[in-house]
Each structure stands twice: as structure tokens, then as C-alpha cells.
Chain A
Amino acid sequence: MTLRTILKRLVPLLTLAVLVGLLSLLVPDFLGLRNLRGLLLSVTLVGTIAATMMLVLAMREVDLSVGSIVALSGVLAAVGMSATGSIALGVLAGLAGGAMVGFVNGVLVAGFKVNSLIVTLAMMEVVRGLAFLASGGESVAIPLQDFYALGSGGVLGLSWPIWSMIGSFAIFGLILKATVFGRNILAIGGNPEAARLAGVPITRVRIIVFTLQGLVAGLAGIILAARITSGQPNTSIGLELAVISACVLGGVSLSGGLATIGGVIVGVFIMGAAQNALNLLNVPTFYQYVVRGGILLLAVVADRLRQDGRLPRIPIRFSKTDRSETQNV
């Protein structure tokens, strides 16, 4: 491995380091233990979902419905617990709801061959509507106090939301790197027709990935409901943008075929640190929209430039260093 390879591989991490360095100088209290713990907690929602979004993007698809799934599953869990008095049934309702939405996304994209951007844009609206319908338009209080432990309790000094993010990173990072299923995802993203002709079961893989995405968004929604002790139909609007931004900042290519969990983790923390700093500096919310959108634009322009640098006109040439950087992490 050449020095250049190592440097390239470290770019996201170095970005994060520079950002943290700058913020610790500019923002009072940024490096305080209390703030860092808050920062960690604040990225759990985005981080948990970013791991499966990585799989979706690596497959050359996108899922815009995750924010709505978070709301729907939180509401379903709250309604389920109110109605049955059982934590288990409520959680099951939330998870099943999320997985169902993901499955429908997958069938529409893989089975009916509709563009995933449009499918999940439509589903984003449909699912948000379902969340309002299921809740009657109001926030649904959760009467079972034991359930709140899922949001605030934990082990080894880390709360359950943080564990859920760590678990999501570990499981889906491993799936992407070390299983045939994960490599098939990258092959489909890299060249769908070649993957199909080489015997990759592309329809099945696509449906499973979307279903996983729905399931994980559902889990994140349930944990969020535990943190805020209610199911909120209007929560997490715009969450999909934060999740996709984190992935793209972490080097996941929007043209598919390239993704690493390490990059995604760094991307999640870049997003989180920027958001945290804006809060500490008391930047009004209106500006925060502009900054978040700007970060996403920067990330996709960087993605585009990277590809153009790597993909000059025919014949396509890739340097060896690029190769080992992009898929061997």
C-alpha cells in the first residue's frame, strides 16, 4: 500500500479531525465530556439508519422514506402499547410496520422496476400520512414507564440508543464486507446487468436490502419514541437528507458500487459535530437548514469530482491505488 493510498483512505477521518480541532478552538465547551456525550446521543438516530442507507446507496438506489418510517413506527409502537398494555406487542407493531414499508419499497423498485427515488418519495408521503392517521394527528403518549428505559437506560456507561447505533454499524459493516450478500450488493451497484448475467439474484437482494432499511428505520423510530416517551407523527421530517448526507460525506458513491462502513461512521460524526457546533453557537434554526443543505451539496459535488477524476473518457483507467482504497478497507 502506497503512502498516497493511505492518505486517500484517511481523507474523511482527517476532515473530521480538522473539524473537531477547529470546533474545539472556536466553540466554547465543545470538548467538554457532557457535550461529547450529548453529541454521541444526538447522532444515534442518523447513525443507526445510515448503516442500512449505505447498503441502499451501494446498490445504486436511494430511500427517501426513512424519516416517515421513523414517525410511523414510533406511533405504531405507542398506539400498540396503549391498546394492549404490552411492551413486546408495541415494539413488534413498530418493527413490523417499518419492515412492511421497506418490503413494499423493495417490491416496487425490484419487481416493478420503478426508479427508487420516485418510489420512496411517494412512500415518504404515504407513510407520513399513515403515521398521522394511526395517531389521529396527535402525539400518542406511552403509558408504560418501563419502556422509557429503552431510551435512557443502558450498560457499560453507554445508553441503548448508542448501543443500537454501534450494533447497526457492526452488523451491516460486516454484512457488506464479509458476506456474499454484501458483495452482491456492491456488484449490483457497480453494474446491475453484469451482476444479473453472472448469476446474482438481483431481485431478491434488492427486496431484502429495502426491507432491512425499513426494519432498521423502524427500530430507530421505536428507540426515539422511548426517548421522547411518546409516538410523534410529525417527528424526523427531513431525516433522510441527514442520513444520505452522512453516507455521501463518508465516501459512499451515489452511482453505486463503492461504500465502506468506516467512511459512513466518520460521515455521521462530521454531520453530528457540525450540527452540535451550530447549536452551541446558538445559530438560529433557519440558518441551520441552509448549512445542512450546503453540506449535502458539498458532499455530492465532491462525489462527482472524485468520479470524474477516476473516470476519464474511454478507455476507462483506474490506478491501482484507487482500487485498493475503494473496496479493500
Chain B
Amino acid sequence: MSAMITFHQVGKTFPGVVALDGVSFTVAAGEVRALIGENGAGKSTLLKIMAGQYAPDSGELRIDGVAQRFTSPRDSQNAGIAIIHQELQLFPQLSVAENLMLGMLPARAGFVDRAALRARAIAVIERLGEAIDPDMRLGALSIGRRQMVEIGRALLRQAKVIAFDEPTSSLSVRETERLMAIIGDLKASGCAIIYVSHRMDEVYALADSATVLRDGRHVLDLAPVTADDADRLVGAMAGRTISDVYGYRPRAAGPPMVEVAALAGPGVAAPVSLTVARGEILGLFGLVGAGRSELFRLIYGATMPDTGAVRIDGEAVPPGSPRAAIAAGLALCPEDRKEDGIVPLAPLRENLALPWRNLTGATALLRRHEEQTGANELIGRLRIKTAGAETAIGSLSGGNQQKAVIARWLWAGARVLLLDEPTRGIDVGARSEIYELIYRFAEDGGTVLFASSDMAEVLGVADRIAVMREGVLAGIVSRDEATPAGLLRLALPQANQASSNQDTIPA
């Protein structure tokens, strides 16, 4: 078999992170290659290079043996590459036929040629073996059928290389089976397929070969792939030595402090119940989209829960109100600092004082002197690197911004910290300072819930680890029992169970 697409020593570096480090593999015509790895292993970066969104720093991408240099997504499409994304890139308000042919609408004298549009759309839909009305508004279709439309687009463009990025994550069992059949057809017609998925049973069923990425490096190649390879694959994905940047210190846990009782709502499908003790650090692990941030937002009242309650020291926190949560001692440090955490143009002092001010009286005059003293004290204690308290927080480094976001809650007297990805995009030095902050907060009798998609970090810092999978709490393991492979097994979707609750979506 000749290689349809070749990655040759592809490397890509972002400031502070090596996303891809000399990755090489090929996919032949008629081959389905699974691309697997944990979050942050480099799969998305690889797909974006294929799609022409990023240019590789080193190495090259070849199609049919010819080196490619994409400067735009259009170049990639013209080279015969199609990517079926997790979030579909379609237009719900347009018709199915229009979606299929957008950007290449048949036209006569500048007007859309409706007849030709319809005829071609019907031809493609038939090839997909679907019964979809081409005149229907796309938005009226189920997610699975929309995905079929996206695949139809790839067929119309006569794509030779089709990459699927977690295509089944929101499909029902039946839709997944349809998709598998269609991928089989594509393979038979000579397409090279790259299949990215966390669902191992799909990989075993579908893939001829597998490439495992870890930390941007290409760590394992297997062909063929069968269920017997499960341990090798999971081992390759998870296998890492945990270095001691974490400096974990054991603590005696106190009495129960935070009680989450049957909490469910947007993004958290099944009710979550857990209890966290005073002085305890609970890690919350899960793959991207597992519902960690959503659970935090429900606990904090940033989104209204459908059911359930949160109690602090036995007292129920009124739901759906961050202000009530703050008054009860809760604090959220959101995942997206820039969007949800800071007021970038405002001075560091203003950002630090914001919750404290509003907790102690929203109509009062500013206590300027007290604020300056308080801000300077925190800047010194947490070693926030800044020219001064009046510097705009947006000009500080990510690590210092994160320290400030945590510091504001120490000032406001928070007793429970909800830290969502507190070290994402932060350099190693600042990371260990943030861990130190977490330990000290817990030692002083605070409770920490801390969500991360970095498994090593969760294993390194948490006393207990709760694992979420597709909006469901999959299990809780103690620090001593937790192993990388064990956590990953809990976190990986299990097709039968995971999909069954979505089978009710009308197909």
C-alpha cells in the first residue's frame, strides 16, 4: 500500500509548550488509523496542522508523497483533506442541500441553480445511505444526521484523506453504527482515514492500525489493533513517571465540610453526590468535556442546577446565585481566566478587592487605604510579580494572574476553593507556588476541589480523586489506590453505557 498521507518529523512549539515533537506516521489509501492519546497529547495540534490552521515548525506533511505547505484551511481542502470536527461546522439555519454545497453552490448567471443543487444533494445523500430531505433546515436534524451532512460535504469535495475528531461523542448507539458502516465504505473506496477517539471499543472494531501520542511525542505504533492490545495502549497513553514538582504533604482530614447532594444540571447528566472534608484536597479528573467545569459552575451557582443541593457545614447554599455561594464561603477560580476571571484593564488592586468589597457592603464608599494595604500584603505574601498594585492585571503573566485570582478569595475569607484548571498555561515555577498555596489553604482548615485534565497533577496533589466521564461521576479513588491506568479506565467512555442515555435523541 502506498502512503496517502505522511507526517514526517512534524514538530510544533507554542510559548512554553512543546505540542508536537518529531511525530512521524503514514496512512495508506484504504487504511483506517486510530490516533489516540490523553488530553494535551498533541492530537488536536496535529489535526490543526492537517487542516491548514497551524503551520508546523519543523518536519512536513506529504500528500501522495508531495510535500505540502498550507497557508490556509482552503489549501488543505484543495489538497483533498477533510476534517469532521467534534463541534460541527455547519449552518443550522440553512437547508441540508445548501450546507452540503456551501462554498461551491451551483450557479447560473449568478443565481443559485436550485435544480442542480437539489440533484447533487440527493445523489450524495443516497451514497451515504441516509433518508434526509435535502430541503430541510439543517437545525431540525439530530446531531448524528448533521454529522452525515458534514461527511457528505467531504464526499462532494472528493476528499482523499478524512480525519474524524471524536465523531461519536454525541451520537446514539444506532447513529454510531451507521457511522461505522459509512467509514467502512469510505475505506473501501480508497480514502485514507484518521480516526481520533477515546472510545477504545470503536478503535478495536474499526482501525487497521493505531498511533499513540503522549506529551507531543509519538510513543507507540500498532498494526493490527485488537482488544488484546488494550493494556499496551492504555499503558502507552498513561505511562509516565511522576516527577515531584508537586511536593505533596499529607494532612489529617477534619469533619465533613462540603456536601454536594444529587446535583445535576446543564453538562452534568446524572446527579453527583460527594462529600469533602475540612482540610481535604479533592482532585476532579476527566477528559475534555467530561463535565468538570460544569459541575463547578453548578456548585457555585453560576448556572442554575436542575436538581440537588450544596451544603456547607450542614447549611444549604441557595442555588443559582454566585453571591449566595460567596456569602456561604465558596470561591470559584474559573478555567478561562481571561474570559471569566479577571477585569483585564483594571488595576491589580481592583481585581484583588472585588469580592471582598462586595461582600462587605456594595454601597459603601471605597476604603482606599485599607484596600491598598490589603493588596500590598497579598502581593508580598503570594509573591505576585508586578510593578505595583496599580498595574493592570492584564499585563501580568498567566501565573501571576492566577495567583491574584486565588488571592482575592483568601482576602474575601473563602473557606472552600473551587479551582478549575488552576495551572493551565502556567510555567513550572509558578505551578509549584500554586500547589504550595493549595496545601497551605487546606492546612489552615480550608477545603479544596480542584479540577484538572493533567493526570499527573491530579495524582500528585489530591488526597482523593473523583473521576468524571461524559457528565457522570464515574468513581472516587483515594490517593493510595489511584494509578494512572486506573484513572484513565474510569475516564474513558464505555460505549454501551455512555451512549445508551443518548439513544433517546430522535434519529
Residues of A within 8 A of B (CB): 178-181, 183-184, 186-187, 190-191, 193-201, 204, 257-258, 316-320, 322-324, 326-328
Contact = CB atoms under 8 A, between A and B. Distances in A.
20 contacts: A180-B365, A183-B357, A184-B358, A194-B334, A194-B343, A197-B334, A198-B354, A198-B358, A199-B326, A199-B354, A199-B358, A200-B354, A200-B362, A201-B358, A318-B395, A320-B391, A324-B390, A327-B347, A327-B350, A328-B347
A130 to B, nearest CB: 32
A318 B392 contact: yes
A191 B366 contact: no
Given A178-B365, A190-B346, A199-B355, 7 more contacts: A187-B354, A195-B354, A201-B358, A316-B394, A320-B388, A323-B347, A323-B391
Contacts of B326: 199
Given A194-B342, A197-B341, A326-B345, A183 B390 contact: no
B390 A197 contact: no
A319 B343 contact: no
Nearest to B364: A180
Contacts of B361: 180
Contacts of B391: 320, 323
A323 B390 contact: yes
Highest count of chain A CB atoms <10 Å: which of B347, B361, B368: B347
B415 interface: no
Interface of B: 300, 302, 322-323, 326, 332, 334, 338-347, 350, 354-355, 357-359, 361-366, 368, 387-388, 390-392, 394-395, 408, 412
A200 B340 CA distance: 13
A11 B358 CA distance: 34
User: 3 closest Cβ contacts across the A-B interface?
Assistant: A190-B343, A323-B392, A318-B395
B334 A199 contact: no
Contact of B362 (A184, A257, A328): A184
Contacts of B359: 199
A314 B256 CA distance: 43
Contacts of B357: 180, 183
Nearest to A314: B338
B339 A199 contact: no
Nearest to A326: B345
A257 B343 contact: yes
Contact of A257 (B302, B345, B364, B412): B345
A200 B358 contact: yes
Nearest to A181: B363
B294 to A, nearest CB: 14
Contacts of B350: 183, 186-187, 327
